[in-house]
Amino acid sequence: MAKTPVVDTDLCIGCGSCVEVCPEVFELRDDKAWVIGPDKCDTCNCEEAANICPVEAIKFE
């Protein structure tokens, strides 16, 4: 079963990198990333976004 990405908004600095790599999954709202499509990644289980995040705010549950 696919992992569900969640953003720790306390850590997120709103850099937008995750939105750039996965616009289907993440969206910036009020300078924080929100998960808008938790099941929209069918290539890497959002590993790429998690890896590119500079503050490791993207976790999985």
Interface pick for ligand SF4 out of 2, 4, 16, 44 (rule CB under 6 A): 16
| Residue 25 is a binding residue for ligand SF4 (CB under 6 A) | no
Query: Rule CB under 6 A: is residue 41 a binding residue for ligand SF4?
Result: no
Among 23, 39, 55, 60, binds ligand SF4 (CB under 6 A): 55
Place of tokens 């937008």: 16
Q: Is the dihedral of CA 22, 31, 33, 11 positive or negative?
A: positive
The minimum distance between CB 50 and ligand SF4, in angstroms, equals: 9
Report the C-alpha gap between 61 and 31 in whole angstroms.
Answer: 23
